[in-house]
Amino acid sequence: MWLAIVLAVGMTAVLQVIGAPLTTDAAPQGILSYEFAGSVPNAQAIVNSWQGQTLASAGLSLGLDFLYPLLYAAAISLSCLAAAPHLPGIGSKIGQWLAQAIWLAAALDYIENISLIQLLFGSTQSIWPPLAWGCAAIKFTIVLLGFLTALIGGILALVKKD
């Protein structure tokens, strides 16, 4: 679990550095703005705001994001499994469920990435932005719930040791 956490945090840091130039007027939240563009015109405006090296950063970020879901899913899944026994009542079952659901989030991340790459390569098919948006929304919800479950379970485990 700890190795998975270290690798996921490390990749998060790498993606933050690579993604820093992606913050523009059209993409005030960088790659996050792109994930939630929602429409072809919005996505095109974001891609058009990324020129030269910035466009290369976007491509590299999306490329590395094919490894990242495996890392964060392993870290969160194992953390939820470790936290589950420390959660009261139904919390234990929720922790176990989220340990499985995080892999759905990873799968949705791949669909989202494929959608974003299609747009980055100039596709104007209207399916890609809402597909990316929907996948990102579900993914972030599951990731946040998994992270909070692991955090709460971890805190409860520490408190019980005293």
Percent of the chain with pLDDT over 70: 99
Q: What is the rounded CA–CA span in Å between residue 153 and residue 150?
A: 5
Q: How far apart are CA 98 and CA 76, in angstroms?
A: 9
Task: Work out the number of other CB atoms within 10 angstroms of the CB of residue 80.
Answer: 27
DSSP state, residue 25: S
Q: How far apart are CA 11 and CA 62, in angstroms?
A: 13
Return the exposure string of 97-130: e unless at least 16 CB atoms fall within 10 Å of the residue's CB, then b.
bbbebbbebbebbebbbebbbbbbeebeeeebbe
In terms of Cα–Cα distance, which of 82, 68, 71 is closest to 4?
71
pLDDT in tens, 98-151: 999 999 999 999 999 999 999 999 999 999 999 999 999 999 999 999 999 999
d(CA 66, CA 5): 17
Residue 162 has pLDDT above 80, yes or no: no
Query: What's the pTM value of the predicted model, to 2 decimals?
Result: 0.90
Domain boundaries, the chain: 2-161
CA distance 105 to 80: 14
Structure tokens at 156: 């409860």
Whether residue 161 has pLDDT greater than 80: no
* Rounded percentage of the chain residues whose pLDDT exceeds 90: 91
